[in-house]
Amino acid sequence: MSKLSLLKFSFPILLLVGLLVTSFLVPILDPGYDNVVNYLKDENGKMIAAPPFTSSEMPPAGSDRLGRNLLLVLLAGAKYTIFAALTVALLRIVVGFLLAVIYSFLPSRLGRFLKNLGESFQYIPLTIIVFALLVPLEDLFQGGYLTSTKFFIIQLFTIAFVTIPSFAVYLGEEMKLFMKQEFMDVSRTMGASRFHIFRQHLLPQFRRHSIVLFSEQVSQALALFIQLGILVMALGGLKIADFAFSALDPANPVYFSHTNEWAATISININQIFITPTLVVVPLTLFALTILCFNSISSNLRKLLIEENFRVLAKEKPKDTPSPTPLVNEDGRGDRDFVLLKNLNIE
């Protein structure tokens, strides 16, 4: 691997690690980062600003509608956003791979039925299914019957298992194509069991591909989180603040993410894009940067583990050598026949 390739591969990883480390350090170095600030005062005690504050009033990126430092809140929520995407991607890869192995060995009639069933999930908005399953749990969370941590874990498993069937069918079809190759037919003819085929052929082949697929699944999980945020479904539950001026005024609830994860922060504040652009632009920039890092890692892994391997195999493959033309004697018999007949004194 060249120095440039190594730099391209290591830079996005270091950037993601830096985000995670910073996310854990923010609550330690600034325990009051999540405190609500109702207004800012000058040296004379005069109120000079009300939330959301601008970047000049609360550097470097202003505040949210609760008066919290926007950048600190987003950095603190980075660990929930990234770990949630990693967890969903890992569950999809592990469970999807096991189901794909089972699917690839099923009888053709049952396989076609499951294929049609799995492909139907591609045309159904999975976000709607996840939302419908999690709405009752949101009510339990708001009622205090479910903690944020438990709700967060349930959300991740629900998102993962709803999106697994279509991925398992896709991976199973790839395995079926792989097992149609000639050397697989030879292996089965020689008496190889299904477990032997799985251990010696399927597992080594798809182990490299799974690493690339993992980073791709992370990007897809992040995109799914944004769709859930548009439906006002935040990872870890919602925090609701009432912005009514007095008890006589009508309720004016405003939603926030309990874990400060980025997807819900973007979606919930989308109506503030023209009033306070930083509420959307800053988390969207961090989100786009994270997806870019994972896509870069996926691209570099594909070149390193798959494309480079194909190049090496192509270089090592011997060129086809033409078979030697058999020698023919005057009587039309081949050289081998001539020698055999001469030894037998038949000529």
Peptide bond into 204 cis (omega under 30): no
In a domain, 340, yes or no: no
In a domain, 338, yes or no: no
Q: How confident is the model over 153-170, as pLDDT tens digits? A: 999 999 998 888 888 888
Helices 126-142, 148-179: inter-axial angle, 10-degree rounding: 160
In a domain, 308, yes or no: yes
Using pLDDT thresholds of 50, 70 and 90, give the confidence band for residue 61.
confident
Q: How confident is the model over 193-210, as pLDDT tens digits? A: 777 777 777 777 777 777
In a domain, 198, yes or no: yes
pLDDT given at position 82 = 93
In a domain, 345, yes or no: no
pLDDT given at position 344 = 40
Mean pLDDT of 119-140: 84
| Sequence-distant (≥ 6) Cβ neighbours of residue 233 within 8 angstroms | 130, 131, 134, 135, 138, 264
pLDDT given at position 89 = 92
Q: Which of 186, 195, 219, 205 is nearest to 82 (CA)?
A: 219
Mean pLDDT of 116-137: 82
In a domain, 325, yes or no: no
Q: How far apart are CA 135 and CA 148, in angstroms?
A: 14
pLDDT given at position 10 = 85
Mean pLDDT of 328-334: 45
Question: How far lies 7's CA from each of 65, 160, 178, in Å?
Answer: 40, 32, 34
Greatest distance between any 2 Cα atoms in the chain:
126
The domain that contains 13 carries what CATH number? 1.10.3720.10
pLDDT(74) > 80: yes
Please state, rounded to an integer, the average pLDDT across all residues of the chain.
79
Domain count along the chain: 1
Mean pLDDT of 46-70: 84
Share of the chain above pLDDT 90, in %: 16
Domain that holds residue 241: 3-316
pLDDT(296) > 80: yes
Q: How far apart are CA 114 and CA 108, in angstroms?
A: 10
pTM for the complete prediction? 0.79
pLDDT given at position 339 = 40
Q: Find residue 238's DSSP bridge partners.
A: 257
Q: How far apart are CA 146 and CA 134, in angstroms?
A: 12
pLDDT given at position 60 = 87
Q: Find residue 253's DSSP bridge partners.
A: 242
pLDDT given at position 216 = 81
In a domain, 218, yes or no: yes
Pseudo-torsion of CA 232, 236, 237, 240, nearest 10°? -100
Site of tokens 């993962």? 160
In a domain, 324, yes or no: no
